[in-house]
Amino acid sequence: MRKDYYIDSENVGDDWISLLDSVEADDKIIVFYTDKSPHMNYNNLILLKNSPKEITFIKCFEGTNALDFQLCTEIGLQVHNNPDVEFIIVSNDTGYDAVVKYLKQRKIPIKRIKGSDCSPKPVQEKAVSTEKNNNASAASKPKPEAPVSPSINDEEARAKEILYILGKDNLSELHTALQQIFGATVGNNYYKSFKTGTTYKSFLEGHKKLSLNEKLALYCRIVFAQSGKNLDMPSDFPKFVKDTWKQKKNLNSFRASLQTKYGKDIYDKYYSIIKAHIKILDKIK
């Protein structure tokens, strides 16, 4: 069965490029984009240019959740015309899950995958039992940030912590942060609930007071966790981001500093996770 991939580029950026190495010859990749979609990095542009795969790009009208609606409408049109196709939505936005459930009930083969699922899973290396090798392996990995708050293992808990970090007095930053982290549809629903609801007052009043550095660390931990990229966050990363942006105020300069700090092999992965949140981190007090 042919697979058609519908890419929400506003949400997953160019993570979908990894599909070029795994899709079958007759599979299709359709990329939905707007002027708000993140720009591709040069390495991915080169991969796209050199790939024999023909990609369809669809520019969407802009507006609240506009890309999401147009993507779902296109699937609805193609379901009728292509009964022998599996439809795959590539997005971290869980708002699409209602569409997936609706069509599955009608026996349409469809699913949603995260942007990180486009990349093949790394092969686990065989464990080495010697203490020497274990210590060397541990030393080579970035030191993860220690928890500074209650559990953020579920989505709602993460959203509530974002509310605490930014507060109800910074509605613009709160709205942007929620949409960037949870996707346009889900993020907007959390924003409306936080903005108008009264049930979160006791949560905010009873929350343990966090320092600026603790807020920065918590925000970044949530961003890393929600990204689905399975990367450990270095303990000095949040402060580095805030301090570097304060000095540079320029994405190209910030990216160069990131490469100098963390090395060529990993900096671009960090940048892809944090770039949409740099200005928000700058507003946290």
Average predicted confidence (pLDDT) for the chain: 84
Structure confidence by residue, pLDDT tens digits, 163-197: 999 988 888 888 889 988 888 888 888 888 888 77
Supply the range of the domain harboring residue 45.
2-118
CB atoms under 10 Å from CB of 234, counted, come to 18
Is a pLDDT exceeding 50 seen at residue 242? yes
pLDDT at 23: 86
Number of independent structural domains in the chain = 2
135 inside domain: no
pLDDT at 131: 46
Mean pLDDT of 123-151: 46
pLDDT at 127: 44
Residues 162 and 252 placed together within one structural domain of the fold: yes
Please, are residues 223 and 277 in contact by the beta-carbon 8 Å criterion?
yes
171 inside domain: yes
Angle, alpha carbons 34-121-158 (nearest 5°)? 60
83 inside domain: yes
- Predicted TM-score of the model (pTM): 0.50
22 inside domain: yes
Residues 204 and 267 placed together within one structural domain of the fold: yes
Non-local (6+) Cβ contacts of 106 within 8 A are none
Non-local (6+) Cβ contacts of 270 within 8 A are 231, 237, 258, 262
pLDDT at 180: 86
Q: Return d(Cα 272, Cα 38) in angstroms, integer.
A: 9
Residues 103 and 157 placed together within one structural domain of the fold: no
Residue 29, domain CATH: 3.40.50.1010
164 inside domain: yes
Is a pLDDT exceeding 50 seen at residue 125? no
Residues 174 and 239 placed together within one structural domain of the fold: yes
Please, are residues 34 and 60 in contact by the beta-carbon 8 Å criterion?
yes
Structure confidence by residue, pLDDT tens digits, 56-70: 999 999 888 899 999
